[in-house]
Structure 1
Amino acid sequence: MIKADSVSIEQCAKLLKDRRLTIAFAESATGGVLTSTYAKLPNAGTFLKGGIVCYDAKLKEELLGVPKGLIDQYSPESKEVTQEMAVLLKNLIDADVLVAVTGLLSAGGSESAEKPVGTMFYSIALGDKVMNCRELFKGTPDAIVSQTIEQIGKTITKTLINHQPSKNIVN
């Protein structure tokens, strides 16, 4: 599992804290590990607003408000659904940076030749922009989650470094 002393996670947290930005997570495949990783960092209360776990597609619909038609069309583990999760999270948690993650940790979901096990989707909503990412990781479910969290930390950091401050999220 990811350690709270991960360089990419620490750097991300420092940028959030230094810029007085807050972050929130909507997690599916990572099952709360992403939020937990950030919660273990020093001074997490200054930047972490919280997170929700919506592993089941029904929770994506009922809790976040992701349209059932979007889930049916693209699957719960898709760029389109993940992006909608990130944008809609703003309705539940008022944070500057909104991150959503879905993916396939093991067989039995929506995997296919184009979307094999290990495919992870994450979206980062910041200001009026949403960045969508797709990664393919190998290994056990724990290894895939760890790699995903590391990559999300790196991507948020890069996004924050390149971002011109703005407080508006478009729904």
Structure 2
Amino acid sequence: MTAADRAAGLVDRLTTVGRSVAVAESLTGGAVVAALVGVPGASLVVRGGIVAYDTALKASLLGVPAGLLAQHGPVHPEVAAAMAEGVRGAAAVGGHPADFGVATTGVAGPDPQGAAPVGLVYVAVADAAGTTVREHRFAGGRAAIRAQACDAALDLLAEVLAERA
């Protein structure tokens, strides 16, 4: 299944259940939100996205605790969780956060980032009921890792949506 197929299914399901989504991305650089908004009718459910490629933006735009970033760096499961939680509030409309927040953080390469090896990726989905984070170890070049991370984020959103909506 392609990212476009995954996204189309998600937009359809979100529309059916009347839920919204916002996306916080690092290594995927906007690919996740682009896949979602590429679907006709996405404006009914997609609130928007934040590409926080620079580590400092994870704190200033998404509310990731600076201490967490200083201690573990940007490629960490707690950072992914905080990004997903933070984007829900950052995309609030009329005082209401997005129903779901999706986040990606990891190392696409070509070089490791600190102790994090190339291919290490965390994806997270947050909603009012909690936050789910998954670790992945992807292989391949930079483009392949980014594409796999995008697919993993969409798959996790579909999984959480099926469980909770």
Structure 2 counterpart SS, 1:117: coil
Which residue does 1:9 correspond to in 2?
7
C-alpha contact 1:4 1:40 (8 A) present in aligned 2: no
Alignment partners' CA distance in 1, 2:140 and 2:36: 23
C-alpha contact 2:62 2:87 (8 A) present in aligned 1: yes
Structure 2 counterpart SS, 1:109: coil
| 1:103 counterpart = 2:106 | yes
| 1:74 counterpart = 2:72 | yes
Which residue does 1:151 correspond to in 2?
152
Q: Give the 3 Å change call, closer, same or farther, for CA 85–4 of structure 1 in structure 2.
A: closer
Q: Which residue of 10, 31, 34 corresponds with 1:33?
A: 31
C-alpha contact 1:22 1:97 (8 A) present in aligned 2: yes
Aligned length: 159
Structure 1 gap ranges (5+): 166-171
Structure 2 counterpart SS, 1:5: helix
Displacement of 1:67 in angstroms is 1.7
Which residue does 1:135 correspond to in 2?
136
TM-score normalised over the length of structure 1: 0.86
Alignment partners' CA distance in 2, 1:43 and 1:62: 31
Structure with the largest fraction of helix:
2
Alignment partners' CA distance in 2, 1:138 and 1:108: 13
Alignment partners' CA distance in 2, 1:155 and 1:27: 14
Q: CA RMSD in A?
A: 1.7
Displacement of 1:3 in angstroms is 5.8
Alignment partners' CA distance in 2, 1:76 and 1:30: 14
Structure 2 gap ranges (5+): 93-97
Alignment partners' CA distance in 2, 1:122 and 1:5: 18
Alignment partners' CA distance in 1, 2:152 and 2:123: 10
Aligned residue identity for 2:141: T
Runs of 4+ in 1 over 2 A off after TM superposition: 2-6
Displacement of 1:39 in angstroms is 0.8
Alignment partners' CA distance in 1, 2:64 and 2:118: 23
Which residue does 1:22 correspond to in 2?
20
TM-score normalised over the length of structure 2: 0.89
Aligned residue identity for 1:109: Q
Which residue does 2:119 correspond to in 1?
118
C-alpha contact 1:25 1:52 (8 A) present in aligned 2: yes
